[in-house]
Amino acid sequence: MTQGCAHLAGDWSLAALRPRLPVLRRLLSVHGLQAAGWDLSAVTRMDSFGALLLWRAWGMHEPASVLLPPALQAVMQRVRLAPPVQSAPPVRDWRVALRALGRPGLLIASHAKGFLLMLGSVVLEAARLVYRPRAIPWREFSAAFYQIGVRALPIAALVGFLIGIVLAYLSALQLRNFGADALIINILGIGILRELGPVLVSILVAGRSGSAITAQLGVMRVTEELDALAVMGVSAHQRLILPKVLAMALVMPLLVLWTSAAALGGGMVATQLQLEIGWQHFVVSLAQVVPVQNLVIGFIKGSVFGVAIALVACHFGLRIQPNTESLSRNTTAAVVAAITSVILLDALLAVMTRGIGVPLR
Amino acid sequence: MSPVVSLCDISTRLGGQWVHRGLTLDVAQGELMALVGGSGAGKTTLLRQITGLQRPTSGAIELFGEPLYAGRRSQRFARLRRLGMLFQQGALFSALTVFDNIAFPLREFGGLHEAEIRVLVLAKLGQVGLAAQHATLMPAQLSGGMVKRVALARALALEPELLLLDEPTAGLDPERSAAFVALIRQLHAELGFTVVFVTHDLDTLSALATRVAVLAERRILASGTLDEVHATEHPFIQKFFRYHTTIDETPAE
What is the spatial distance between Cα B83 and Cα B90, in angstroms, rounded to a whole number?
Answer: 16
Average pLDDT over residues A345-350: 94
Binary contact (A85, B119; C-beta < 8 A):
yes
* Confidence (pLDDT) at A87: 61
Q: Cα dist. A16→A361, B106, B109, B120 in Å? A: 86, 14, 12, 17
Burial (0-12, 13-18, 19+ Cβ within 10 Å), B246: exposed
With a cut of 60, say whether residue B128 has pLDDT above it: yes
Specify whether the CB–CB gap between B230 and B210 falls below 8 A.
no
Which of the pair, B96 or A309, is modelled with greater confidence?
Answer: A309
Q: Cβ separation of A82 and B122 shorter than 8 Å?
A: yes
Is the Cβ of B95 closer than 8 Å to some Cβ of chain A?
yes
The Cα–Cα gap between A290 and A190 comes to: 6
Q: What is the pLDDT of residues A46-59, one digit of tens each?
A: 888 888 888 888 88
Length of chain A: 361
Percent of chain A with pLDDT over 90: 47
Q: Is A254 exposed, middle or buried (0-12, 13-18, 19+ CB in 10 A)?
A: middle
3-state secondary structure of B194: strand
Closest Cβ–Cβ partner in A13, A21, A85 for B111: A21
pLDDT of residue A86: 62
CB nearest to B123's CB, from A13, A48, A53? A48
Give the strand order in the sheet containing A3-12. A3-12, A35-46, A66-67
Nearest CA in chain B to A73: B190
Task: Please name the residues between 58 and 97 in chain A that touch chain B, using a CB distance below 8 Å.
Answer: 74, 78-79, 81-83, 85, 87
Give the least confident one: A296-305, A342-351, B54-63, B183-192: B183-192
Residue A3: its pLDDT value, please?
61
Q: Is residue B252 part of a domain?
A: no
Sign of the four-CA dihedral A304, A308, A309, A310: positive
Of B78, B138, B159, nearest to A13 by CB-CB distance is B159
Interface test with B, best of A11, A72, A85 (most B CBs within 10 A): A85
Q: Does A52 contact B116 at a Cβ distance shorter than 8 Å?
A: yes
Burial of A219 (0-12, 13-18, 19+ CB in 10 A): middle
Supply the DSSP symbol for B129.
T
- Model confidence pLDDT, tens digit, residues A161-181: 999 999 999 998 888 888 888
Nearest residue in B to A55, CA atom: B116
**pLDDT at residue A90 above 70?**
no
Would you call B116 and A53 a contact, using CB atoms and an 8 Å cutoff? Answer: yes
Range of the domain at B204: 3-246
pLDDT at A298: 94
For the stretch A228-284, pLDDT in tens is 888 777 888 888 999 999 999 999 999 999 999 999 999 999 999 888 888 888 899
- Please write the tens of the pLDDT for every residue from A129-153: 888 888 888 989 999 999 999 999 9
Please give the backbone phi and psi of residue A45, each rounded to the nearest 5 degrees, phi first.
-155, 140
- What is the model's pLDDT at position B250? 47
Query: What's the pLDDT at B253?
Result: 38
Do residues B188 and B152 lie in contact, with contact meaning Cβ atoms separated by under 8 Å? no
* Residue B252 banded pLDDT, cuts 50, 70, 90: very low
B214-224 confidence digits (pLDDT tens): 888 888 888 88
Inter-chain CB proximity B95 and A222 less than 8 Å = no
Q: Look up the CATH number of the domain holding residue B143.
A: 3.40.50.300
Best B99, B114, B120 residue to mutate vs chain A (most A CBs within 10 Å): B120
pLDDT of residue B175: 84
Query: How far is A254 from A295, CA to CA, in rounded Å?
Result: 11
Query: What ipTM was assigned to the predicted interfaces of this complex?
Result: 0.71
Residues of chain B with Cβ-Cβ distance to A78 below 8 Å are 123, 127, 190
- Per-residue pLDDT for B251 more than 50? no
- Indicate the pLDDT class of residue A189, thresholds 50, 70 and 90: very high
B139 in A contact zone (CB under 8 Å): yes
Contact between chains at B115 and A325 (C-beta distance less than 8 A): no
Classified as helix, coil or strand, A34 is coil
Q: Do A222 and B94 touch (CB under 8 A)?
A: yes
Mean pLDDT of the region B118-127 = 87
Indicate the residue of B111, B122, B138 with minimum beta-carbon distance to A18: B111
At A45 the pLDDT is: 83
Residue type, B147: V
A324 vs B190: CB contact, 8 Å cut-off? Answer: no
Q: Rounded to the nearest 5 degrees, what angle is found at the Cα of A277, between the Cα atoms of A276 and A283? A: 155
Identify the pLDDT of residue B133.
87
- CB distance from B91 to chain A under 8 Å? no
Percent over 70 (pLDDT), chain A: 96
Domain ranges of chain A: 5-81, 103-352
Q: What is the pLDDT of residue B243?
A: 62
Sheet of B162-166: strand order equals B83-86, B162-166, B194-198, B32-36, B211-216, B219-224
Q: In this model, does residue A302 exceed pLDDT 90? A: yes
Kindly determine whether residue B95 and residue A324, on different chains, have CB atoms separated by under 8 Å. yes
State the count of interchain CB pairs (< 8 A) between A and B. Answer: 63
Mean pLDDT, chain A, integer: 88
Tell me the whole-structure pTM to 2 decimals: 0.70
If one counts the domains in chain B, the total is 1
Taking CB atoms and an 8 Å cutoff, what residues of chain B touch A74?
A: 190
pLDDT at A259: 96
Q: Is B59 in contact with B7 (CB distance < 8 Å)?
A: yes
Contact A141/A243 with Cβ under 8 angstroms? yes
Looking at the predicted structure, is the pLDDT value of residue A289 above 80?
yes
Measured at the CA of B84, the angle between CA B82 and CA B85, to 5 degrees, comes to: 145
Environment class of B38 (CB within 10 Å of its CB; exposed 0-12, middle 13-18, buried 19+): middle
| Residue of B116, B123, B132 with shortest CB distance to A78 | B123
Taking residue A9's Cβ as centre, other Cβ atoms within 10 Å add up to: 11
Q: Which of A17-26, A156-165, B48-57, B195-204 reaches the highest mean pLDDT?
A: A156-165
Residue B119 and residue A325: Cβ atoms within 8 Å?
Answer: no
- Find all residues with CB under 8 Å of A24, minimum gap 6, and list them: A17, A53
Q: Collect all residues of chain A within an 8 Å Cβ-Cβ radius of residue B110.
A: 18
Q: Between A28 and A231, where is the model more confident?
A: A28
**Amino acid A258: pLDDT:** 96
